[in-house]
Structure formats: C-alpha cells, structure tokens
Amino acid sequence: MQQQRQRSRFVIAGFLFLFNLAYGVNFAAVAPIFTLVMNEYGVSRGEASLLVSAVIIIHAVFIIPGGMIVARSSLKPIFTVGWALAGAMTLTFLADNFLVLLLLRMIYGLAFVVVMPATASVVMRSFNRSEFPLMNSLNMTLFTLGIGVGTFITAPLSLWIGWQLTLSLFGTVLMAGGLGWALFARVPDASEGVVKRVSFRDMWGLMRSKTILLLGLADGAAFAQYVALTTWLPTYYNEVLGMSLTKAGATVGLIPIVGVFAGMAGGTLSARTGTRRPFIIIPGAMVGLAGLGSFLFSSEPAIYASMVALGIASFFYLPVLLTIPMELKGATEMNVAVAWSTVMAIASSLAIISPVTVGFMTDALGVYTPGFALWAVLSFGLLIAGLMLPETGPGRRRRRG
C-alpha cells in the first residue's frame, strides 16, 4: 500500500507539473507575435492586448465561483474538465478572424479558474504539510518555465511553420495531458471532516480577512507590472530599439527563465528558514526599480541586468504567497482553495487593465514609457503589503520558543 501511495503521489505531481508547464507556454505565446497577429487581422495595439487581458479577465471574474465549485466537487473530473478547456488553443488554426482567436483564449482562461484552486486541494490531500512550500515552489517554477519557453520559442517557430499552427501545437500538449490525467491519475479521497460546501457567508468571511486581502494586493501589484511589461516589451524592443522579433522575445524571455530559479530559491529558502515575510519584502523592494530599468535603459547589458532583476523580484515571493493561506489558523483544503481563489481574483483584477492601459496609452501618446512607468510605480505595492503581513511560518514559533 505504501509503494502504491508513493507511486500515486509521483503520478499526481507529474501531471500537476505538466499542466503548469504547458499552461505557462500557452499563456506567454501570443505576446511575442503581436506584430504578426496585428498584421493578419488588422487590429490595433489595444485590441491585440485583449488576447492577454481577456484571459486575466476570465481569471478575475470566475475564479471565486471556480473555487466554490472545486470545494464541493470531486477533484479528478474537475481537473479533466480543466485540461480540456486549456486545450481549446488546439483550434487556433481554424481562427479566421480576431474574434474567434479571442474566444479561444477566453475558453483557455477558464481552465485556470478550476485547476488552480483544485491544485490546493490536491496538494493538501496528497502531500505532507512540510512538503507544501516545495510543491508550491515546483508548481510555480514549472508555470514560470512554461512562460519562458513560450516567450523564447513562439516567434522563431511561428516564422517557420506559421503562428496559427504554432499556437495549435501548444494547445495539443494540454489536450494530450488531459487524456493522460483521465486514464492514469488517482486522487486520494477527502480527509474526514472536510467541508464539501462553501457558502457565500464563508466566502465573505475569507474576503474580509486582512491577510488574504494583503496577499491579493501584494501579488496584484507585481503581477500587473509583469503582465504589462511581458505583453508589450517585445513589441517595444522591436519597434523602438530595432531588435528582431526573435531577439526581442528572447530578451523578455529572460524574466521567466530567471524566475524559474528565483521561485525555486524562494520556496526552498523559506522552507529551510521557516519564515515567510522576508521573501515578500525583499522582492517588493526590487520589483519597481527593475521594471523601470527594463524600458528606461537603451544599452543591451543594462536591459539584460534589468531582466534578471525583474525575474527575481517577480517570482521569488510566489511559493511563499501560496503557502501562507495553508498556514493560517484553521486552514482546511476547502478554505485554502477558496483563499487561493480570492487572492488570485484580487491580483487578476489589478492585472486586467495593465496591458490594455499600455496599449491604449501608446496609441494615444505615441510612446510606451508613460504606460510602463505607471505600472512600475504601482508595483511597489508588493513591498507595502509585505511589510503589513503577519508571519505565519514555523520559524516564528521556534524563535519564540
């Protein structure tokens, strides 16, 4: 039985990692080819940015209801549905106009609203409490790696086989993963006493929690800048600095590539020290400065340094941010799923407008810098929220003891 349980844990972890990797690839894939999409459909920068913003809108609007559905549903079928929704991008080759492509992106975005809160429940059922920071770190690392891979390879692959076929190819990975999940995944049964229904009263109680609100604002401040910059920096570098699409995508791809190592480092160091707040405060002090450097510098070495700093600041805190709700008093897999949903709803709401703001401000003013600067300044909200958060890690208790 022990060997079977261990094997099941590895299978579940593998599918979680594959989903996060493939979802990240698909999330990042459209930004490096905005120029090709705008030329194909004759749309403006502001309209093209909806391909990113629409996904985040879906996250913001539906993730709280998604968390409530997860809390009262069986996890395996929920994940199966999530895989299928994420695989909608397989049909990109049929998108003969911009609205069809936008609709496919919105369907793809629906996957996140059930899979992300369900991940909290799966991790809490399948792994030990001491393993939570590591699992959160690995999940975020694979998602980050996917963003980096998508940013790096989409432009060159699109120039080789066409951008529509490229996006369809990325979508088929999620479809195949969903088939594998349905056939081979074995999710443990819920623990005794786990509440299966979540009322609006429960939800309102969590949303009024100072800690959950601060976590959402912290993540939203950094995430809004990240979305704005990764959406438009490739086009900015191509149009303003004269980089090729491939080079511009690879340059911005440094952010999530560095983020892979930053996320792993943040989760590992937090697990070892037993503390949480420093791993939000430190990147909070860096994130805005790195964002400003990404577009104010014109020399390539300075830009690369900014990309590295931005990758560290944007991802170092994420595993810790996801672990804190698991450590709050009375945490269960039900209310952690709902807490994650609430945090991500707040963060996504802030990130919805950032790429659209940059797109429309650039169309109106003729320059990218005002839009970029706005979100760089607001990203310091990560620092402010981090200073106000309580310490939930076991290191606090050891020091007091």
What is the per-residue pLDDT across 268-280, written as a single tens digit (0 to 9) for each? 888 888 888 999 9
What's the confidence (pLDDT) of residue 376? 95
Number of compact structural domains in the chain? 1
Return the biggest CA–CA distance within the chain: 65
What's the confidence (pLDDT) of residue 348? 81
Tokens representing residue 43 in the block: 């749309």
Residue range 30-47: mean pLDDT, rounded: 85
How far is 89 from 218, CA to CA, in rounded Å?
Answer: 30
CATH of the domain at 294: 1.20.1250.20
**Backbone φ/ψ region at 128: left (φ over 0), alpha (ψ -120 to 50), beta:** beta
Give how far the C-alpha of residue 207 lies from the chain's centroid of Cα atoms, to the nearest Å.
Answer: 21
* Phi, psi for 398 (deg, rounded to 5): -65, -40
Contact 54, 110 (CB under 8 A): no
Residue at 60 is within a domain: yes
Digit-coded pLDDT (tens) for 307-350: 999 999 998 998 888 888 888 877 677 777 778 788 888 888 88
Contact 259, 144 (CB under 8 A): yes
Residue range 40-63: mean pLDDT, rounded: 84
Give how far the C-alpha of residue 234 lies from the chain's centroid of Cα atoms, to the nearest Å.
Answer: 19
How far is 160 from 380, CA to CA, in rounded Å?
Answer: 40
Residue range 194-221: mean pLDDT, rounded: 73
Structural domain boundaries, residue 347: 2-183+200-390
Residue burial 303-312, b: 16+ Cβ < 10 Å; e: rest: bebbbbbbbb
Question: pLDDT tier at 195 (50, 70, 90 boundaries)?
Answer: very low
Question: Which range, of 96-100, 225-229, 390-394, averages the lowest pLDDT?
Answer: 390-394
Residue range 237-259: mean pLDDT, rounded: 86
Residue at 42 is within a domain: yes
Give the position of tokens 């786990």.
194
> Is pLDDT larger for residue 74 or for residue 321?
321
Residue at 144 is within a domain: yes
**Would the pLDDT of 72 be above 80?**
no
Non-local CB neighbours of 114 within 8 Å, separated by 6+ positions: 66, 69, 70, 78, 79, 81, 82, 85
Non-local CB neighbours of 268 within 8 Å, separated by 6+ positions: 133, 134, 137
What's the confidence (pLDDT) of residue 383? 95
Q: Is the pTM of this model over 0.85?
A: no
Which residue, among 124, 180, 395, has the nearest Cα to 269 in the 3D structure? 395
Contact 202, 91 (CB under 8 A): no
DSSP per residue, 330-366: T--HHHHHHHHHHHHHHHHHHHHHHHHHHHHHHHHHS
How far is 103 from 349, CA to CA, in rounded Å?
Answer: 19
Question: pLDDT tier at 354 (50, 70, 90 boundaries)?
Answer: confident
Question: pLDDT tier at 118 (50, 70, 90 boundaries)?
Answer: confident
Residue range 221-230: mean pLDDT, rounded: 91
Which residue, among 167, 48, 169, has the nearest Cα to 102 in the 3D structure? 48
Contact 274, 396 (CB under 8 A): yes
What's the confidence (pLDDT) of residue 194? 46
How far is 395 from 401, CA to CA, in rounded Å?
Answer: 10
Residue at 84 is within a domain: yes
Reduced to 3 states, what is the DSSP secondary structure of residue 45?
A: helix
Reduced to 3 states, what is the DSSP secondary structure of residue 197?
A: coil
Residue range 27-37: mean pLDDT, rounded: 87
Digit-coded pLDDT (tens) for 134-174: 788 888 888 878 888 888 888 889 989 999 999 999 999 99
Contact 314, 287 (CB under 8 A): yes
Question: pLDDT tier at 401 (50, 70, 90 boundaries)?
Answer: very low
Contacts of 360-367 with CB under 8 Å at 24 or more apart are: 360/45, 360/46, 362/45, 362/232, 363/44, 363/45, 363/46
What's the confidence (pLDDT) of residue 189? 61
Average pLDDT, the chain: 85
* Phi, psi for 13 (deg, rounded to 5): -60, -40
**Would the pLDDT of 46 be above 90?**
no
What's the confidence (pLDDT) of residue 192? 42
